[in-house]
Chains A and B, each alone.
Chain A
Amino acid sequence: MDFNQPTEDNLFDRARIIGKPHARIDGILKVTGRAPYAYERHDVVANQKVGYPLCATIANGRVTHMDASAARGAPGVVSVVTTLEIEPLGRAKSNDARLFGGDVIEHYHQAIAVVVADTLEQARSATALIKVSYEEAPGVFDLEAAWERLQGTGEPLADVGDVDAAFAAAPVTVDEIYRTASQSHAMMEPHASIVDWSDGQQMTVWTSNQMIAWTHKALATTFNIEPDTIRLESPYVGGGFGGKLWLRADAVLAALGSRACGHPVKLALPRPMVFNNTTHRSGTIQRLRIAANAQGKITAFDHSAVSHTLPGGSGENPVNQTRTFYAAESRRVSHQAIDMNLPESADMRAPGEASGLAALEIAMDEMAEKLGMDPVEFRILNDTQVDPEDASKPFSERHFVECLRQGADAFGWEARNRTPGAMREGQWLIGHGMAGAYRGALTLNSGARVRLQGGRLIVETDMTDIGTGSYTIIAQTAAETMGLELADVEVRLGNSDYPVSSGSGGQFGAASATAGVYAACLALQALIAKRLNLDTPRFENRRVVADATDLALADILDGEELVAEDTMHFGDFQDSMQMGTFAAHFVEVAVHAHTGETRVRRMLAACDAGRILNPITARSQVLGGMTMGVGAALMEGLTADLERGFFVNHDLASYEVAVHADIPQQEIIFLDTADAASTPLKAKGVGELGICGVPAAVANAIYNATGVRLREYPMTLDRMIDQLPEVS
């Protein structure tokens, strides 16, 4: 089915099930511990062996020698595969560093061996017996040095109007440098796979992955085998946040181990290897200049940034949102992804915007203060309904101003502290801050298959549910379209035998995958109409109804299974407009007057993200983003060892994420702004919108509380304690 123009009035505008709060249909499996995650599939294949990885302890260079003889002779060991024993594996486009094979080390904790044994204890113990010699090469690890070196170089991504003239003429300007930290996805389930490649022919992979089709293809490329010899399953994913978009070493090592020993092999990356072996969000250094006239109208943006990447990667581009978020006649943005020898940087929740808005929205706060304007009113004044670089391109729907106004009202913004450092409760300085949020609303082609079995409908698609609620919103979509109830629908996800979907990433999953399921359901309706010889039947109350016909779906064609499949193809017309999601975040913090400890006391988000398919699961997505945003603001940061080139804090004790005690009352408002240009359901994503802008809102609240303007994340107390106001 083609989606070639904005959708007209349709059944979702009079929905019974879509848009209503429904508890997750996979909830019971999750609260009883019966949802099967990748490493737990004891039932799928017999005689599983256990693999354990060995990872490199240099950042750059080569392995000169490996002695695995002691490991091979250790109790319970059935196979050892070292990287020197096999040719370099193929490298999928989505992987910057090679996942295994050959002697070249491209980053710290790159996998260099897998030991397979009867038990985990045996495999782990034997792995420690492998002796490795390296030839270490110098590496480049210091983003700060690269930033200094690259000043004034690089081609802008956009250069519109006359930026230099605008700054020369502007009565008010901001010009500051901001730093965001490298971050780890730190999903609770580490990367894990069971692979059965025991005959060296057919490969079955039970894994934890967001993108079945991409990873299926990456496996074929990596092992240079035919895609149709590979089958992949990932029905439950214990968190991803972008960290499981790609094929990673867990599946590759399990496959190599399986082929070597002739048994299925399961392997989970030990948590301390996840941080350096897999991908992370690159830190950034950003210079932001804003020019405004005396009335508060922005006349120019100049945003330049660096991030790090392995050769071939794209780093973390934090300047993109600056091209379209606010009006201004002139703008220049540039980003340089610097080749460095740190572990592989790649996408993490809201790649680019999460880091870019962390800087931009502090700069906006600084500008509002210089202008003597309310930061909410300043943003409203500089709103745009068209692409500022191309006025012929409107936003399909943009209700940022409503987000700002409704959020401010609900938060009680009028009653905020207005003078930095002036509100005190006991030993705590109280502050209020806000920020805008903007994240694109991408759609990707998405397919599904539906099976009508009696009155029961089964949906099959390779879409994944990574906690996002896919199972539930897909069941809602199918039930709504077919005139069924939610309980009539069974949803099967995450299997390469099913039609290719959008997968989960870039907050495109919910909108795209439900559109694909809608297309498949329409195909099923057409099939039913044809088989029953009906002209434009209606599907309602579990029945198919046309002129003289009124049949229960359970009874048609004697209960014969009817199968239909289709893919929603999103047309080029979407390129003629900007499609985005918007939010305004409001935060209250308390900063300890003596120690600088920051506690977030209250958070509120007002979100404009199209039709909300299920307010329960959508709300949880935004809550999760806000929580991760608090982590980014206050505690999360991978610290690179600048001599050895690895992230030192590579476990969950030293890489700190927000815990229960860090998260206060959180309130979320959905504007429920149906976007007809996005999908037939008029839906857009929310999963990444929730993290966007949150770090800056916290930063602005800290400034309001203390008068200390922090421009480097995470905003730990050591960064402000020497600047705190004198207290009695």
Chain B
Amino acid sequence: MNPPSSVQRRDDTLRSGAESSSVSFVVNGARHDVELDNRTTLLDALRERLKLTGTKKGCDHGQCGACTVSVNGERINACLTLAVMHDGDDILTIEGRAAADQLDPMQQAFIDHDAFQCGYCTPGQICSASAVLEEMQAGFPSHVTNDLTAPIEITDAEIRERMSGNLCRCGAYSNILKAITQVAKERA
């Protein structure tokens, strides 16, 4: 028998009136089993329960992108999703990118190009930046993609468009663009 799906578990919770649920997910390769208030966002589960505070809370409303994490290989705003919806998911946060102080290429590129100032939006920018390159590679079009059938060309306009959900009030955008372009070139 299959384990109950997350939808079924939610229904069970609603019927039972329980205010908390147990949830299991893998974060940065490590499995966590936690009992959580159903109202807890994935962001607060990461920051407050797992104490992985690298993922930032800028607005808690999906308006700034500081909380961007990768869930099952896709970037999402961790503030816009409840932790109990992620049973069985595989989550990657900024803490999972550098192995034993060996920065990943995007982190290194951000340092090389001074692609941050205060640093608060940076983990979200780095997570989005990595995802943006993968999304283009996978052929996901954006608002500025002209030919929906051709392979997507990595242009400044494509990167800027796809990064526009990640605000940086320090205004490091043009340096972030350089960092992402460096990684894209290294990969090509």
A187 and B121 CA atoms in complex are apart in Å by 10
**Structural contact, A187 and B160, CB atoms closer than 8 A:** no
- Interface class of chain A by DSSP: loop
| Beta-carbon nearest neighbor of B122 in chain A | A30
In this assembly, does B163 line the interface, its C-beta being within 8 Å of a C-beta of chain A? yes
In this assembly, does B72 line the interface, its C-beta being within 8 Å of a C-beta of chain A? no
In this assembly, does A619 line the interface, its C-beta being within 8 Å of a C-beta of chain B? yes
In this assembly, does A122 line the interface, its C-beta being within 8 Å of a C-beta of chain B? yes
In this assembly, does B58 line the interface, its C-beta being within 8 Å of a C-beta of chain A? yes
Tell me the A residues contacting B by CB distance below 8 Å: 23-24, 26-37, 39-40, 42, 75, 119-122, 125, 185-190, 236-241, 268, 270-272, 466-469, 616-617, 619-621, 623-628, 651-653, 657-661, 663-666
Tell me the B residues contacting A by CB distance below 8 Å: 19, 37, 39-40, 44, 47-48, 51-61, 63-64, 66, 93-95, 97-98, 101, 103, 107-108, 110-112, 114, 116-123, 126, 159-161, 163-177
A24 and B110 CA atoms in complex are apart in Å by 11
Total inter-chain residue pairs, C-beta < 8 Å = 189
Residues on B with C-beta less than 8 A from A469 are: 117
**Structural contact, B163 and A238, CB atoms closer than 8 A:** no
Residues on B with C-beta less than 8 A from A186 are: 169
**Structural contact, B119 and A26, CB atoms closer than 8 A:** yes
| Beta-carbon nearest neighbor of A469 in chain B | B117
Give 6 new A-B contacts, CB below 8 A, not counting A186-B169, A660-B160: A40-B47, A122-B37, A188-B66, A624-B170, A624-B172, A652-B63
**Structural contact, B169 and A188, CB atoms closer than 8 A:** yes
**Structural contact, A627 and B56, CB atoms closer than 8 A:** no
A39 and B51 CA atoms in complex are apart in Å by 11
Residues on A with C-beta less than 8 A from B122 are: 30-31, 33
The 3 lowest CB-CB distance pairs between A and B, nearest first, are A33-B54, A627-B171, A238-B120
B48 to chain A, nearest CB (A): 7
Pick from B39, B97, B165: contact of A121, CB under 8 Å:
B39
Given the known interface contacts A187-B169, A620-B170, A652-B59, the answer about A30 and B48 at a Cβ–Cβ threshold of 8 Å is no
**Structural contact, A189 and B63, CB atoms closer than 8 A:** no
A666 and B117 CA atoms in complex are apart in Å by 16
Residues on A with C-beta less than 8 A from B59 are: 190, 271, 651-652
Pick from A188, A617, A651: contact of B168, CB under 8 Å:
A188
| Beta-carbon nearest neighbor of B95 in chain A | A33
**Structural contact, B118 and A619, CB atoms closer than 8 A:** no
**Structural contact, B116 and A31, CB atoms closer than 8 A:** yes
Residues on A with C-beta less than 8 A from B159 are: 660
Residues on B with C-beta less than 8 A from A467 are: 116-119, 170
| Beta-carbon nearest neighbor of A272 in chain B | B61
Residue of A30, A122, A240, A658 with highest tally of chain B CB at under 10 A: A30
**Structural contact, A189 and B56, CB atoms closer than 8 A:** yes
| Beta-carbon nearest neighbor of A41 in chain B | B53
Given the known interface contacts A24-B114, A189-B118, the answer about A119 and B58 at a Cβ–Cβ threshold of 8 Å is no
Residues on B with C-beta less than 8 A from A32 are: 54, 94-95, 97-98, 103, 107
**Structural contact, B55 and A624, CB atoms closer than 8 A:** no
Given the known interface contacts A35-B119, A626-B171, A663-B174, the answer about A617 and B110 at a Cβ–Cβ threshold of 8 Å is no
**Structural contact, B55 and A620, CB atoms closer than 8 A:** no
Residues on B with C-beta less than 8 A from A270 are: 60
A119 and B173 CA atoms in complex are apart in Å by 35
Residues on A with C-beta less than 8 A from B117 are: 239, 467-469, 617, 620-621, 624
**Structural contact, B169 and A657, CB atoms closer than 8 A:** yes
A469 and B74 CA atoms in complex are apart in Å by 33
What are some 25 contacts across the A-B interface (CB < 8 A)? A29-B119, A31-B108, A32-B54, A33-B54, A33-B55, A33-B93, A37-B53, A120-B48, A121-B37, A187-B120, A188-B167, A271-B58, A271-B61, A272-B61, A617-B117, A624-B117, A624-B170, A627-B173, A659-B163, A659-B164, A660-B160, A660-B164, A660-B177, A661-B164, A665-B174
